[in-house]
Chain A
Amino acid sequence: MQILKNIFLATIISIGLQTWAQQTPAPAQSETIIVSGATIHIGNGTIINNGYIIFENGKITEVGQGTTRKQGRMIEASGKHIYPGIIAPVSSLGLVEIDAVRATNDDDEIGDFIPNIRSLIAYNAESKVVESMRPNGVLLAQITPQGGGISGTSSVVQLDAWNWEDAAVKVDDGIHVHWPNTFRRGRWWIGEERGWKPNKDYEKDTDAFKMYVANAKAYGGVKSSSKNEGFEAMQGLFNGSKKLYLYAQGEKEIIDGVMACKNAGINEVVLVGGYEAYKIIPFLKQNNVSVIVDRVHSTPDADDDDYDHPYKLPKLLNDGGVTVSLNSRGGMERMNTRNLPFYAGQVVGQGMEKEEALKLITSNTAKILGIDKDYGTLEVGKSATLFVSEGDALDMRTNIVSHAFIDGREVSLETHQTELWKRYSEKYEQK
């Protein structure tokens, strides 16, 4: 009976891989897996040529050069490349399925300061967009609420799960703050003049944030009989269990934002965006601020800016000694998240070493998100979250993923899209 059941399952899985099992998360790793003969990109800047990697029960147990005698499932990967799973920070994956269909949008709640809003519970583990990340090597993401002043609380997930509880890697890891701008676009739709002008409400808006933080801190100082969910959610910022993600672009906004956080006793601050962060590198280092740079494939903000400013910004910061990571924020950010490896590749085009650029989407991101104990590099003891590519994964013409593993589970590389590809390729072959 048991055997029959197993056969039945196996059949389903094998058929499923062809048809609809892209939605079926892989079971836990049951056998030792050895990938060998490949160039191993550790993710910390080093590389092992003709190397092998062994993982058991979801953890990496050995990484080395040459051959191994270890027994297990062998994956021959000569001429191929192994990379740590790519991590997408400040992402709205799984919160929106189809942009234009409002009913599928769960990324942006109303309210100015709503730190208690939690992304995790709305994360759609079965999203067709989420599954399309895996064939490009993007295996983890920090799911983040959007908009507002304090948008809410994010969580880190892995991208092959039955539901959000399965997916969770680090729950409620950070609070996301969109700092006001000193310069603001005229809201012409309510009768203001078009064009960008100094924001007269800047002081007022920043003060509102500071007051909110001060109140949250005061609230935490005493045991209150009446609960305030927002203030409650903020407590992690003061005891260091949560990080504050500060979204700001301009030099002045960054300085004001970081100082406001530090003055309020929030020490773990990560900058998101940082278009002008390269101008204040010593300040960032002094305050231990890492930067998650906005989508590298963007146009410059101002006509007079260098055409390649968004391409080279990560390099400018990295060269200055700042810990840098890349995100894919902007238009169509969810579907574009699968292009994260190419954003790193674009930075290589500006003169950064390839292994250094890889860190921008693996180990640096893991460090920033606080999941580096398990993720971000291919080191012994860490999670076997990795993928195998036919060639250089940072270049679109060679990023061809043959295997991907999350916590040692071999995840499906099939998607709604590959299924349609096969279906219609077959249609034309039938003729």
Chain B
Amino acid sequence: MKKTFILALLFLFTGMANAQDYFPKNDGVKEENNNNVALTNATLYVTPSQVIKNGTLLIQNGKVVASGSNVNIPKNSITIDLQGKYVYPSFIDSYSGFGIEKPKRQGGGRSPQYDATREGFYWNDHIMPENKGIDKFKYESKDAEELRKLGFGIVNTHLMDGIARGTGVLVALNDESGDATRILNDQSGQFFSFSKSVSSNQSYPGSLMGSMALLRQVYSDMDWYAKGNSKTKDRSLEAMIENKNLISFFEAGDKGNNVRANKIGDQFNINYVIVGGGDEYESIESIKKTNAKYVIPINFPSAYDVSDPYYAKYISLEDMREWNQAPQNLKVLSENGITFALTTYELDKVSEFSKNLQKAIEYGFNKTKALEALTTVPASLLGQSSTLGTLESGKWANFLITSGDIFDKETTLYENWVQGKKHVINDKDTKDIRGVYSLSAGGKNYEMTLSGDISKPKIEVKQDTLKRTSKISYENNWVTFSFEDDNEELHRATALITNSGTGFSGRLVLPNGAETSFTAVRTGDAKADDKDDKKEDGKTPELVPLTYPNVGYGFTTKPRSQNMLFKNATVWTSEAAGVLENTDVLVKNGKIEKIGKNLSGAGVVVIDATGKHLTAGIIDEHSHIAALSINEGGQNSSAEVKIEDVINPEDINIYRNLAGGVTSVQILHGSANPIGGRSAIIKLKWGEDADGLIYKNSPKFIKFALGENVKQSNWQSYGRFPQTRMGVEQLYVNYFNRAKEYDASKKSGKPYRYDEEMEVLAEILNGERFISCHSYVQSEINMLMKVAEKFGFKVNTFTHILEGYKVADKMAAHGVGGSTFSDWWAYKYEVNDAIPYNAAIMTNAGVTTAINSDDDEMSRRLNQEAAKTIKYGGMTEEEAWNMVTINPAKLLHLDNRTGSIKEGKDADLVLWTDHPLSVYAKAEKTIIEGAVYFDLDADKAKREAIKAERNKLIKMMLSEKDGNGGKKRPPMKKDKIDFECETIN
């Protein structure tokens, strides 16, 4: 009976609400309700920082009329007394997929799809700015209810798919009204990410750097299109132009990608609101530098199940630390003055939101900031500060009624009002029956304790201190409970609570079915749960310190350049001076100051190098370490991508390379395409961020590739041009002709379509960018030199160049260098004639020759690989040593800065325990610009520290209970990819 009535009422309300005033009405007469609702005597948060005790909130027609302590309540008002209760502006989730279903992933065919599937749109399927969230939006009451339970009143939703995703919708979670009311803005912003659409299999972009390049091109094209330069119609670009003034949200997803997104924004004057990853605390300085506003998820990692030591060993220190450190993210962001909103995005279960937020507060996140991050900040990010976020007059009446401080674990959320419509979460008139009672029932006495949540109390019944089985439910102020007596006989009881504080009495059904009554007299307060012990001691949980980078072997403080003097070393100069015995080298301000005998210096660190060898740091011309992606294999030319965009400064291979005496590397694009991507040349400054690794005024390089890889010979791919070496040549000819024409039209001053790929190729033609070309057989090596000569430039370096020895004379004549492996061969058909004598023959023919690695294992022993040229081909020791120092420096145009021990050059040095070409030698110290980045003794100390910290974190995880921070997850190890040329990712 009662149920039917409520249902009827609900229909009535919805019916009324949905009717817009100019719509005809046939099921009754039109009526209006312009009454006010006054909520009085509340602790009223008008704004996160303006709190009014005994405040009044007056609302009418879904909006706030007035709020404060002296509010005049008009006569036509319904007054609700909120004595002892709190009122907050309701929360806003500015990043959500609410009500917009994600498309299903398309099953891929066996061969890659290179072209777009759409016509009349941008050439890339993953660019869909024309998508309108509102077209796909369908209000989901169930999801809305879940969000309201957490305190949210507004969500900003969009189609979460693709790189450019189109516009979003700002929705009030108002079940009582229709879309005509609750949709506040159907152009609430536009959305971007680095992730491809799941609805298309178009292969490009196939990497993070490809996504970045694509976005840059879209923005350039948008400008070009807007100026009316296109002869054809492009609905995607038109949408971009139309949306130009909307707020742009960028889902970046982690600390590195935050910076990447921001860089694109900076280039095109767009202030992205960046959706971060929760790991910003790890590199807060670079986050600060972005000057961007953020939306931050709070999906803190749960603890690992480390009970089995055999499994626990697989978990890296980095991942263990993340569990320990991540809850401080919001605190760190807020203390560094970064503006951010919070989101439920990325949570495994949306319901974990409150618990995780409480955790962040426990870790020191300020409550006022928390409230701002859920109200005023998102309102401002969305450009809705005048309508949302606070309870000031004129704004939407979106508010919460709670039993107390909203961020307290014990607090109950009673009601969530959206646009003036009440949504009950918990009955706010529920009487608090928590306490200890003396229960008399059926002639026996019991001690009954009711504790926990006000609306869902827990029960414990004891008889003579012995616990008895008992159960309770509590609804609409009716309490119903049952318990067993000493004979395990069930008693059932129910009572209406009319007041709280003294006790209650009601109906009791005895085990034999006879009905009688019971009384429960309140004797005191129930004790809080033991699980709150941690909080009571007032201490924030223990955090292990961050390191640079924040992984195993990171530094507690970043290495600094120091002035030092190496005494009595055997100095391998890699210069005409050769090897100098018993020689001193003075390092000052990061440079090599002086080389000589009996040097001294005031205030310098003196290092006794007697019996040791000092060399220039090793340079690896061909490396793929420290990058998040290597190949953009989505197209046969990818000159528009940059490895500099995807530097990973946390790759342990940086540290391991330092341990092998390497100080500089060129991170090359892979060999998937005839025209690859641009290189990054870095110094291995372990602990610096991505930008800190890249050479200042770095020489410009690009990777080209020839042969089996670009022909895609070794896997099932028959559809992409070129499939033969003949095609490779014509691809180059075609691209260079186009680049030449592009450059000419650019220089002519006429309007032209900016094309990043053509820009890069034009740089090659103009001698501003150098090619390092992956190459194997003599025919193709010769071909590229001829193509270059035809277009009037020189190939800078052939890398791999395993048949270089067959055309070494031609190479010398062309003036190209060779960077080769010492002894690799036979791994594919085109290296059947690869010989370890290659480096020696090329050197003898006058080709500048380096030994490279293309491998994260070999790169840490390049000294040994250089030594193999003595065995194979009879190089002198000095010639051999030059192949990993000054020769690669020359090939990289860095020989004026590094690569040898020469006064004035960067102090990039290695102190070896033994002859540096010997298999027995170890790098004892590796120094970059006068700062010690690797030291054998320090390494030993780090090993011990890692063991100790792992042990500590494992113990902390073991003591963490299930349920506190979620269920423990099974141990895991990340799948790290060891990149080489052929890695497609």
Interface residues, chain A, CB within 8 Å of chain B? 97-101, 128-129, 182-183, 185-186, 188, 194-198, 250-252, 297-300, 302-304, 306-308, 332, 334-335, 338-339, 342, 345-346, 348-349, 394-400, 416-418, 420-421, 424-425, 428, 431
Q: Are A396 and B871 in contact (CB under 8 A)?
A: yes
Considering only CB atoms, which chain B residue lies closest to A102 in the complex?
A: B714
Given contacts A195-B974, A298-B857, whether A304 and B828 have CB atoms under 8 Å apart is: no
Chain B at the A interface: SS class: loop
Interface size on B, residues (CB 8 A): 70
For A300, the chain B residues whose CB sits under 8 A away are: 656
**B176 shortest CB reach to chain A, Å:** 41
Closest CB in chain A relative to B841 CB, distance in Å: 6
**Contact of B234 with A by CB under 8 A:** no
How far apart sit A395 and B867, CA to CA, in the bound complex (Å)? Answer: 9
Q: Which of B805, B857, B871, B970 has the most CB of A within 10 A?
A: B871
Asked if B825 contacts A335 (CB within 8 A), the reply is yes
Minimum CB–CB distance from B107 to chain A (whole Å) comes to 11
* Contact call B833/A420, Cβ cutoff below 8 A: yes
B648–chain A nearest beta-carbon distance, Å = 12
Q: How far is the CB of B530 from chain A (nearest CB, A)?
A: 32
The answer to whether A335 and B841 touch (CB under 8 A), given A183-B973, A198-B311, A304-B950, is: no
Q: Which residues of B contact A308 (CB under 8 A)?
A: 659
22 CB < 8 A contacts A-B:
A98-B829, A98-B832, A99-B828, A100-B713, A197-B970, A198-B971, A299-B860, A302-B973, A304-B950, A338-B823, A342-B864, A348-B919, A348-B920, A417-B825, A417-B836, A418-B837, A420-B837, A421-B873, A425-B841, A428-B808, A428-B809, A428-B845
Fill in one digit per residue for B960-985: 1 if any A CB lies within 8 Å of its CB, else 0: 00000000001111111010000000
A300 to B652, CA, bound (A): 10
**Are the CB atoms of B828 and A101 closer together than 8 Å?**
yes
Using CB atoms, name the residue of chain A closest to B320.
A304
Asked whether B828 lies within 8 Å of A98 as measured between CB atoms, the reply is: yes
Given that A198-B971, A302-B973, A395-B918 are known contacts, is A334 also in contact with B826, CB under 8 Å in the complex? yes
Q: Which residue of B lies closest to A197 (CB)?
A: B972
State which of A99, A299, A302, A346 has its C-beta within 8 Å of the C-beta of B316.
A302
Q: Cβ of B844 < 8 Å from any Cβ of A?
A: yes
Interchain CA distance A368-B972 in the complex, whole Å = 36
Residues of A within 8 A of B237 (CB): none
Which listed residue, B656, B837, B857, touches A417 by the CB 8 Å rule?
B837
Partner of A307, one of B314, B939, B971: B939
Asked if A397 and B825 sit within 8 Å, CB to CB, the answer is no
Residues of A within 8 A of B472 (CB): none
User: 3 closest Cβ contacts across the A-B interface?
Assistant: A100-B828, A345-B919, A196-B973
- Which listed residue, A128, A185, A252, A342, touches B826 by the CB 8 Å rule? A128
- The yes or no answer to B922 lying at the interface (CB within 8 A) is yes
| B946 sits at the interface (CB 8 A) | yes
Besides the known contacts A183-B311, A417-B837, 19 further A-B residue pairs in the complex with CB atoms under 8 A apart: A98-B826, A99-B827, A99-B828, A100-B714, A101-B828, A128-B826, A195-B973, A196-B975, A197-B972, A198-B970, A250-B310, A251-B310, A299-B653, A302-B313, A332-B827, A335-B825, A346-B919, A349-B920, A428-B809
B868 CB contacts on chain A under 8 angstroms = 396-397
Residues A186 and B975 in contact, CB atoms below 8 Å apart: yes
Q: Are the CB atoms of B919 and A185 closer together than 8 Å?
A: no
In the complex, chain B residues whose CB is within 8 Å of the CB of A251: 310
The chain A residue sitting closest to B834, CB to CB, is A417
- Bound Cα distance A394, B920 (Å): 9
Given the complex, which residues of A lie within 8 Å of B659, measured CB to CB?
A: 307-308
B233 within 8 A of partner (CB):
no
A100 contacts B829, CB within 8 Å?
yes
Whether, in the assembled complex, B755 has its beta carbon less than 8 Å from a beta carbon of chain A, the answer is no
Task: Give A269 Cβ to nearest chain B Cβ, in Å.
Answer: 21
Decide yes or no whether B806 CB sits under 8 A from chain A. yes
B825: chain A residues at CB < 8 Å are 335, 417
Output the least CB separation between B572 and chain A (Å): 14
Q: A303-B316, A304-B950, A335-B825 are in contact. Are A420 and B972 (CB under 8 A)?
A: no
Assess whether A349 is in contact with B919, with CB atoms less than 8 Å apart.
yes
When chains A and B are docked, how far (Å) is the Cα of A302 from the Cα of B624? Answer: 19
**Least CB distance, B580 to chain A, in whole angstroms:** 20
Are A397 and B318 in contact, with the CB atoms below 8 A? no
B-side contacts of A303, CB under 8 Å = 316-318, 551-552, 652, 976
- Asked if A182 and B311 make an inter-chain contact with CB atoms under 8 angstroms apart, the answer reads yes
Task: Give min CB distance, B931 to chain A, whole Å.
Answer: 19
* In the complex, residue of chain A having the shortest beta-carbon distance to the beta carbon of B936: A308
Candidate in A183, A250, A303 with the most chain B CB atoms within 10 angstroms:
A303
B662 CB-CB contact with A under 8 Å? no
Q: A-contacting residues of B (Cβ < 8 Å)?
A: 310-311, 313-314, 316-318, 551-553, 652-653, 655-656, 659, 708, 713-714, 805-806, 808-809, 823-829, 832-833, 835-837, 841, 844-845, 856-858, 860-861, 864, 867-868, 870-873, 877, 880, 914, 917-922, 939, 943, 946, 950, 970-976, 978
Per the bound structure, the CA–CA distance linking A399 and B864 in Å amounts to 12
Known: A297-B861, A299-B856, A421-B835. A98 touches B972 (CB 8 A): no
Cβ contacts under 8 Å, B917 to chain A: 397
Interface centre among B857, B921, B950, B974 (most CB of A within 10 A): B857
**A251, B312: Cα distance in complex, Å:** 13
Residues on B with C-beta less than 8 A from A302 are 313-314, 316, 973
Judging by beta carbons under 8 Å apart, are B829 and A194 in contact? no
A43 CB to closest chain B CB, in angstroms? Answer: 19
Nearest CB in chain A to that of B856: its residue: A299
Q: Which one of B652, B809, B828 lies within 8 Å of A431 (CB-CB)?
A: B809
Shortest Cβ distance from A156 into chain B, in angstroms? 22
- The answer to whether A299 and B656 touch (CB under 8 A), given A101-B829, A339-B823, A399-B871, is yes
**CB pair A424 B877 closer than 8 Å:** no
- Closest approach, in angstroms, between the C-beta of B238 and any C-beta of chain A? 38
In the complex, the answer to whether A194 meets B919 with C-beta atoms within 8 Å is no
- What is the chain A residue whose CB lies nearest that of B836? A417
Closest chain A residue, CB of each to CB of B831:
A98
- Asked whether B972 lies within 8 Å of A195 as measured between CB atoms, the reply is yes
Q: A299 to B858: give the CA distance in the assembly, Å.
A: 9
Is A396 a contact partner of B867 (Cβ separation < 8 A)?
Answer: yes
Q: From B841, which residue of chain A is reached at the shortest CB distance?
A: A424
Bound complex: CA of A405 vs CA of B833, how far in Å? 26
Docked complex Cα distance between A108 and B872 (Å): 32
Residue in contact with A395 in the complex, picked from B920, B971, B976, CB distance below 8 Å: B920
Q: Which residues of B contact A416 (CB under 8 A)?
A: 833
A297 to B318, CA, bound (A): 25
Complex: how many Å from CA A428 to CA B868? 22
CB distance from B146 to the nearest CB of A (A): 26
Chain A residues lying within 8 Å of B311, measured Cβ to Cβ, are 182-183, 198
Q: Please tell me if the beta carbons of B857 and A299 are within 8 angstroms of each other in the complex.
A: yes
A98 to B825, CA, bound (A): 9
Please indicate the chain B residues that have their CB under 8 angstroms from the CB of A252 in the complex: 310
B633 to chain A, nearest CB (A): 16
Separation of A374 and B317 alpha carbons in the complex (Å):
49
**Would you give the shortest CB distance from A372 to chain B, in whole angstroms?**
26
> B318 — nearest CB in chain A belongs to which residue?
A303
B233 CB, nearest partner CB in chain A, Å: 39
A185 & B871 in contact (Cβ 8 Å cutoff):
no
CA distance A197 to B313 in the complex (A): 12
Q: Is the CB of B827 within 8 A of A417?
A: no
Q: A409 to B562, alpha carbons, bound, how many Å?
A: 60
Q: Nearest B residue to A401 by beta-carbon distance?
A: B871
| Residue among B551, B823, B873 with max Cβ neighbours from chain A (10 Å) | B823
A83 nearest CB across to chain B (Å) = 15
Q: Which A residues lie within 8 Å of B714 (CB)?
A: 100
| Most-contacted residue by chain B among A198, A250, A308, A396 (CB, 10 A) | A396
Contact A349 B975 (CB under 8 A): no
What chain A residues lie within 8 Å of B832 (beta carbons)? 98, 128
Which residue of chain A lies nearest to B660 when distances are taken between CB atoms in the complex? Answer: A307
- Give A97 Cβ to nearest chain B Cβ, in Å: 7
Contact across chains for A307 and B871 when beta carbons are under 8 A apart: no
Q: Which residues of B contact A100 (CB under 8 A)?
A: 708, 713-714, 827-829
